[in-house]
Every structure is written in structure tokens, then in C-alpha cells.
Amino acid sequence: GWCPLSPTGAQTTQLLVEPPWIPAVLWDQVTLTCQGLGTTGATTWYKDGQRWWQKGPNRFTVATSGTYTCDRPGTGPSPALRVLNERLVLQLPARVLLEGDTVTLRCRG
């Protein structure tokens, strides 16, 4: 399933990641989806803090590592998401975590 990186129902732009683990890794064939108010096809994508794709699609498969953010008119920028190109990575579920939650970590290589 899709996992938002900000609270469900919040009136903000959300960056969803599939598979739902962070940090994401290129060898998982990561798909990012930008959700927010505004016109479909009006998504602006940022990579490593620089505008990277203006009037881009709402969803795409990541081809290069970096830190991604999306922006939808009316709701502003999403939280950033790192996509790594590492051989070994410690991941946690891509969901909102609250103090006291039990979390399963996974080490993958």
C-alpha cells in the first residue's frame, strides 16, 4: 500500500513512496506519487533542493539517487524523501510514527 509521509487528512502536499520503506533505495524500483490539491499535471518536482521537473506528472519511477520534494499549487511543498544508491541500508516503514509505537526495522543488502 501507499504510505504518506505526513498525517492523513492534513491539507498539505504529501509524497507517497512505493515500496513503503525509508530511506528508499534505487534497486527497489521506487515510485514516488505527489498528492495535493490543484490541477493534475501541475506538479513541480525538486531534486537535491533544485527545481528539476516543472509541470511534471503526479507519479514517476525514480532513476537516480537524491533527495526529492514535490510541490502542488494550493498546498505547497511536501516533506523531502531520500532515495539512496547504497549496497546496504537500514530501513523503517514509511508512515507517521508516534512516540511509543513499535517499529520494525530491516537491514537490506
Q: Is the pTM of this model over 0.85?
A: no
pLDDT tens, N- to C-terminus, the chain (109 residues) = 555 554 544 568 889 999 999 999 999 999 999 988 766 668 899 999 999 988 888 899 999 999 999 998 778 889 999 999 999 999 888 877 788 888 888 898 8
Domain range 14-108, CATH class:
mainly beta
Domain boundaries, the chain: 14-108
DSSP string, 3-71: B-SS-TT-SS-EEEEES-EESEEGGG--EEEEE-SS-TT-EEEEETTEEEEEEE-SEEE--S-EEEEEE
